[in-house]
Amino acid sequence: MLCPGRDLGLRATRRFQTVIVRQMPTPAPQADLHPIFDRVLDRAAKEQRLGQRGRVVWLYGLSGSGKSTLAVALERRLHAEGFATHLLDGDNVRTGLNRDLGFSDADRAENIRRVAEVAKLFAAAGVVVIAAFITPLRAHRRLVREIVGAEDFLEIYVAASFEACAKRDPKGLYAKAKAGNVAQFTGRDSAFEPPASEDGAITLDTEAEPADASLARLHAAILPRIRL
């Protein structure tokens, strides 16, 4: 006979092990596509009108590391300074554009790919994009860099240990994961890869410094990249 807690855990495990196959639309043959990139108003004209350069500031790290806090604070500061910005946050995007995606390895990669394509469009319009996503694997970050373009991509690692994030637990996810109510939890059930030295990421250690100090360093790092 199973105890209620164990029975609940088994049911949750079976639920998350269920494979849902989505019927994806068949892409149109390339011969049937006729892009008009050469006819639209060019990027330089848009950047001149805005008085800034379009860039993608990509913050990543464990849940609770401080990504969203820094992203919101950075956007507010840049807005006050007259910059046109747009913030893309992981939870926000999953309520709309990516609401059909789960947390399997394939869905995580697709989540990042879609967001990178959206960020690329905003940057091409001269907007400073601030993205806050866990983005757990180096392969995910390489994909973003390839889509957005190395010149436009600023990789920001918001560092904090699993233990520190678990203590903060702003969304209650660590407590739920410990109770077995969250599957594929990053840092425990699912891998998280910190950047390697050759990745060129800027690291903000939110355990070692207060949020105001991290924000100041982030702002100082990106300002020269977005000014005309």
pLDDT at position 24 is: 53
Q: What span, in angstroms and rounded, lies between the C-alpha atoms of 77 and 83?
A: 9
Furthest C-alpha separation in the chain: 71
Residue 79 vs residue 30, higher pLDDT: 79
User: Rounded to an integer, what is the distance from CA 46 to the centroid of its chain?
Assistant: 25
pLDDT digits (tens, 9 = 90+) for 160-185: 999 999 999 999 988 888 888 888 78
Say yes or no to pLDDT of 14 above 70.
no
User: Cα–Cα distance between 113 and 14 in angstroms, integer?
Assistant: 28
111 pLDDT above the threshold of 50: yes
Q: What integer pLDDT is reported at residue 64 of this predicted model?
A: 94
pLDDT value of position 90: 86
Please tell me the predicted confidence (pLDDT) of residue 96.
94
Residue 6 — very low, low, confident or very high, per pLDDT cuts 50/70/90? very low
Residue 60 has pLDDT above 70, yes or no: yes
Averaged confidence pLDDT in the chain: 88
Distance CA(51)–CA(173), nearest Å, equals 41
Cβ-in-10-Å burial (0-12, 13-18, 19+) of 131 comes to buried
Distance (Å, whole) CA 90 – CA 103: 12
pLDDT (0 to 100) of residue 174: 85
